[in-house]
Amino acid sequence: MAKRHLTSRLRRSADRLDDPAEGRFTAYGIILGLGVFMALATALDLPAFGRANVRLTDLNAVSSIKSEAPVGPVATDPEDREDTEDAELAITTPAESEQIIDERHVTVRRGDTLMKVLRRAGADRQEANTAIGALKKIFDPRRLKVGQKLTAAFRLTESTDRKSTDDATLISVMVALDVERSVSAIRTEDGFQAQEIIQPLESSFVRGADRIDDSLFVSARRTGVPARVIMDLIRMFSWDVDFQREIRRGDRFEIMFELFKDNDGRAVKNGDILFASLALSGEDLRLYRFATEDGTIDYYDAKGQSARKALMKTPVDGARLSSRFGKRRHPVLGFTTMHRGTDFAAPRGTPIMAAGDGVVERASRYGAYGKYIRIRHNSTYKTAYAHLKGYAKGVRSGQRVRQGQIIGYVGTTGRSTGPHLHYEVHRNGKKMNPLRLKLPTGKKLEGQELTRFLEAKAEIDVALNETPALSRVASNKAATAE
């Protein structure tokens, strides 16, 4: 029954479609319905048929992995990618301007103060004053020396002109005291904090040895020994050796001293002489550096006898013996008279040293002697120095001086024909020949001090054997610090 009813309905529908007028009406209705539906979908922003399934699928996928995916937008097609990029730019905050650290190196000039140097570097006066106040806790700004190096660091912004100081903020000041030490003031939240910086240096030994062909100075320089070390070598032997008369061609020298290098391997500092020897006409003089328990450092021979004597034979370095003790024709007066001293010709301004420890009795003009100094060393010995250009700072009557201390400078004041030092030694009030005078010896080590010295001497001898000598041909200037 139901089957016959369904068949009857299908037949009637087929008959209806066979009617041309009714078929056209049905087709128009379907098209009209689709148009209305599409208009509604557009107005309400409903997904289209084809993309609805894709978009819903994508959204479901995103929802399912949201907890695992990194934070940030997920794009599924080019249009979505453009939208998310715009969103990222909208929420990103602009980066702060990059900060630049500008280090400025300044050299101290004559008449400079620390404030002047910092102002010349570009520091604000108030900031410079605060930094100087911090530095004063560990460094006296009045001790700045001409040629000393100073580094000031400033914080700049990207827009700041490096030549301008308007937006430059001082963040640190560093003053180099020497190759090993410096002091600095570094900006903190509370102002500036001062600190001392120690540069670690590596120590090694340098040994020089050669024949003397002309002078000790020239021969030692030829092997690469620094000039200042050679001058120390000359001072070591100045109590026993007259370098004007006793050095001959064919004599030999040997020296070993310390050398300090920085982290880059550059030689920056020469240390103390540990050993030195002179072989003069067959006589071998050997000296070793040693510090006694009280901290006194001196040079001793192999038996522990100090090389230091009561008085130096030659109180001026690099001078030429121009007139000896004894009778001579006076260059100014023109007749023969007794010359009761020794003259050393040297360039005007050459430093003059105290021949021994003592007290200055006189430092003033003294007739034909011109500018004159006399030092009392003990109840027996005095020394006198004449024709000076001037006096060293602090040298005056009653002032105590040490052996080797600079007391004045070579000149030609008084009755003089040219720049030279007239040197006298007085023993019990009588003027003696300084070059022939048998001077009292220095300290002799004994007991435990002698034992300690012999141990130190043995260590130095081992280092001598293990340290190769500088090459005379290469001169190897790079191996030492001038």
Single-letter code of the amino acid located at 176: A
pLDDT band at 191 (very low <50, low <70, confident <90, very high): confident
Q: What's the pTM?
A: 0.57
Question: How far is Cα 449 from Cα 176, in angstroms, rounded to an integer?
Answer: 38
The mean per-residue pLDDT over the stretch 392-410 comes to 91
Percent of the chain predicted with pLDDT > 70: 70
Predicted confidence at residue 432, as pLDDT, reads 83
Burial of residue 387 (number of CB atoms within 10 Å: 0-12, 13-18, 19+)? buried
Tell me which DSSP letter residue 469 carries. Answer: B
**Is residue 268 within 8 Å of 319, Cβ to Cβ?**
no
**346-383 pLDDT, tens digit each:** 889 999 999 888 899 999 999 889 999 999 988 788 99
Which is more confident, 211 or 8?
Answer: 211
Predicted confidence at residue 374, as pLDDT, reads 95
For residue 218, give the nearest of 249, 257, 260 by alpha carbon: 249
Q: Which two tokens stand for residue 145?
A: 């020396």
Question: How far is Cα 446 from Cα 283, in angstroms, rounded to an integer?
Answer: 25
**Is residue 183 within 8 Å of 137, Cβ to Cβ?**
no
**Is residue 443 within 8 Å of 449, Cβ to Cβ?**
no
For residue 298, give the nearest of 274, 278, 277 by alpha carbon: 274
For residue 231, give the nearest of 191, 265, 169, 273 by alpha carbon: 273
Rg (CA), the chain: 47
**62-96 pLDDT, tens digit each:** 344 344 444 444 444 444 444 433 333 333 344 44
| Domains of the chain from N-terminus onward | 99-198 (3.10.450.350), 202-309+467-479 (3.10.450.350), 320-432 (2.70.70.10)
Question: How far is Cα 250 from Cα 220, in angstroms, rounded to an integer?
Answer: 13
pLDDT band at 440 (very low <50, low <70, confident <90, very high): low
pLDDT band at 244 (very low <50, low <70, confident <90, very high): low
Mean of pLDDT over the chain: 77
Question: How far is Cα 327 from Cα 315, in angstroms, rounded to an integer?
Answer: 22
Does residue 171 carry a pLDDT above 60?
Answer: yes
**Is residue 236 within 8 Å of 287, Cβ to Cβ?**
yes
Long-range CB pairs of 180-185, under 8 A, 24+ apart, other chains included: 180/260, 180/268, 180/269, 183/135, 183/138, 183/139, 184/135, 185/131, 185/132, 185/134, 185/135
The mean per-residue pLDDT over the stretch 243-256 comes to 84
Question: How far is Cα 214 from Cα 251, in angstroms, rounded to an integer?
Answer: 10
Predicted confidence at residue 461, as pLDDT, reads 94
Burial of residue 367 (number of CB atoms within 10 Å: 0-12, 13-18, 19+)? exposed
Q: Which two tokens stand for residue 357?
A: 């420890």
**22-65 pLDDT, tens digit each:** 444 455 555 556 665 565 555 544 444 444 444 434 434 434 43
Question: How far is Cα 134 from Cα 195, in angstroms, rounded to an integer?
Answer: 9
**Is residue 408 within 8 Å of 344, Cβ to Cβ?**
no
> Cβ contacts of residue 167 below 8 Å, gap of 6+?
156, 157, 159, 160
**257-314 pLDDT, tens digit each:** 999 988 888 888 899 999 999 998 878 899 999 999 888 889 999 999 888 777 877 8
Predicted confidence at residue 340, as pLDDT, reads 73
Q: What ranges in 44-146 are assigned the alpha helix state H?
A: 49-65, 78-91, 114-121, 125-135
Question: How far is Cα 468 from Cα 205, in angstroms, rounded to an integer?
Answer: 9
Opening angle at CA 287, ends 283 and 290, nearest 5? 165
Alpha carbon 90 to its chain's center = 52
Opening angle at CA 231, ends 227 and 237, nearest 5? 145
**Is residue 481 within 8 Å of 259, Cβ to Cβ?**
yes
On the CB side of 382, CA atoms within 13 Å amount to: 16
> Cβ contacts of residue 394 below 8 Å, gap of 6+?
none
Q: Which two tokens stand for residue 282?
A: 């067959």
